[in-house]
Structure 1
C-alpha cells in the first residue's frame, strides 16, 4: 500500500531519495524491513517495484496477511488508518501533493496493474537514483495521479493463474537459484504450467515477462549485497547470475540509470 514511516534498522541502508518539484513530493523508499502505524494526513500514491509480503490493516481494524504483486499501483486516501509491517519490504515509490490540494479518490487500493503507471514509475526511479533534477517531474507526477483517479483508472487486471501462493513459490525458487542459469522452462515446470501458458499468465499478472522479472530479482539481490557487504563487484555479479561484472554494470545502467560502482559510492556517503 502507499504507506511507510519506516522504523530505523540496525544496518547500513540506502537512503530515501526525495525530490520536491512544484506541488509534488516524490520519494523512492529502499527495499528493507519496515513497520508503520499512522493516520494518513494526506492522500498518497504508491508503486511497488518488488513483490512484498507481510501483514497490514488499511482503513480497517482487521490485521491480515498481504502480498503485493510487483508493478502494483496503490492509493491511500487522506484520513485512512494505516498499519503495515514486513520483514523484508521492497523498493517503493511514493508521490504526494505538498500544496494542500487533495488527490482525487476516497478508497484505498493496491495491486492495480497499469502499463502507463509502470513506465512512469520506472522513469521516476531512474531519475531519483541518478540524482537528476531537470526531468519533467511535474508532468510525471500528474500523469501518475491520473492513473489513480476514479473514473480514469482502467479496470484492475486480475491475477488469473498467478496466485499469491504461486508468486511466493516462484520468488523463493528464483532467490535460491540466482547464481545459476534460470529460464522459463524451469519456472513453468515449478508451477505445473506449460511454458506458453505461464508466460501469458505472468505477463497478465505483473505487466512484464518472466525474463524481465528474473533480471529485476538479480538486480535487487545485487543492490542488497552492494549495500550491506564489502564483497567485490565481480563476486556480486557472479553470485547474482550475471556472466561478469561488465554484464552486471550494463544491466544496472539500462534498468536503473546508475552503475554498481556509483551505487556503492552513494551508500558510503550516507
Structure 2
C-alpha cells in the first residue's frame, strides 16, 4: 500500500491507524500535510472525511488544483500514475486488497457522494479509533468496494450549486467563526443563496446537512487541539463552540466512537 508521505512538521501528528483483515488492508490517514507520487500497483478505494485542497495529477501529466469534498468516495485503478500534494491534508480512509487481487474498474474518480459508502466509512473510522469485539472488517471492506466499483453516474451540478470554490470559501468562513454560533442563514448569505436552496445544494455536494457539517468541523478542530495542546477539555470545548464539555464528549462518542479523553491518551 502506498501511504502518503508526510511533510516535516513542528506539530505532532496522530498515528496512521491500520488493520489487516483477510485479504483486505485498511488505513486511516490523519489530517496532515503530505506529498506523494507513485504508480498504483493495485486498485485502491479512498474516502475523504474532510475537505482538503492541494494539487494532483491522477492518470495524467497535468498537475491541477483539487478540492476533495467531505464524504467523497474515490477510486484509483491499478496502473494509474498518481501525484498528490496538500499543505493541510484531511482525514482519509484507504482500502486495498492486500494480496493484490484486482478490483473491477479502470477509471479514477473522486468526490462521489454515496450515502451507503458514507455510513460504511464512518463505521470503519470509528472502529479504527476505538476497536470493538464485533468489528466486521471483511464485510465492511467488501461492501465499500462494491460501492466504489458500481458504475453510478453522478448528477450534473445545477446552477448555483456548492462548487469547490464555494466550499473552500465556506470552510474558511466556518473555521474563522467556530468559537461562536454559526447559522445556516449566515452560511447561505455568504454564498448569496437562499436558505432553502443552500441546504439542498449542500446536502447534494457533501452528503450531509450544513448543521452536521458544522459539527464535524468543530470536532476536527477539537481533535487537533487534543493532539497539539495541553488545554483542558473544558477549554477546548469552549474554543470549538460546543455548549459544554459534556456536549462535546457526547458528540465525540456519537460520531467517533470514543471520548475526547480516550483519543488524547491514544
- Partners of 2:180 and 2:214 in 1: CA distance: 12
- Report the equivalent of 1:76: 76
Deviation at 1:187, TM superposition (A): 0.5
- Report the equivalent of 1:45: 45
Equivalent residue of 1:74, what SS? strand
Q: For each residue in 1:175-223, what CA deviation from the matched residue of structure 2 results, as whole angstroms up to 9, or x when unmatched?
A: 0000000110111111111111110110111111000000000000000
Alignment of 1:263 with 2:263, yes or no, is yes
Q: CA RMSD in A?
A: 1.4
- Partners of 1:71 and 1:157 in 2: CA distance: 16
Equivalent residue of 1:208, what SS? coil
Alignment of 1:63 with 2:86, yes or no, is no
The structure-2 alpha-carbon separation of the partners of 1:193 and 1:81, relative to structure 1 and needing over 3 Å to count, comes to same
Q: For each residue in 1:156-190, what CA deviation from the matched residue of structure 2 results, as whole angstroms up to 9, or x when unmatched?
A: 24444101111011000000000000110111111
- Partners of 1:46 and 1:25 in 2: CA distance: 12
Deviation at 1:100, TM superposition (A): 2.6
- Report the equivalent of 1:9: 8
- Partners of 1:15 and 1:226 in 2: CA distance: 14
- Report the equivalent of 1:201: 201
- Report the equivalent of 1:231: 231
Count of residues in correspondence between the two structures: 263
Deviation at 1:153, TM superposition (A): 3.0
> TM-score by structure 1 length?
0.94
The structure-2 alpha-carbon separation of the partners of 1:170 and 1:3, relative to structure 1 and needing over 3 Å to count, comes to farther
More displaced 10-residue stretch of structure 1: 130-139 or 203-212 = 130-139
- Partners of 1:186 and 1:178 in 2: CA distance: 13
Structure 1 runs of 4+ with >3 Å offset: 157-160
Structure 2 unaligned regions, length at least 5: none
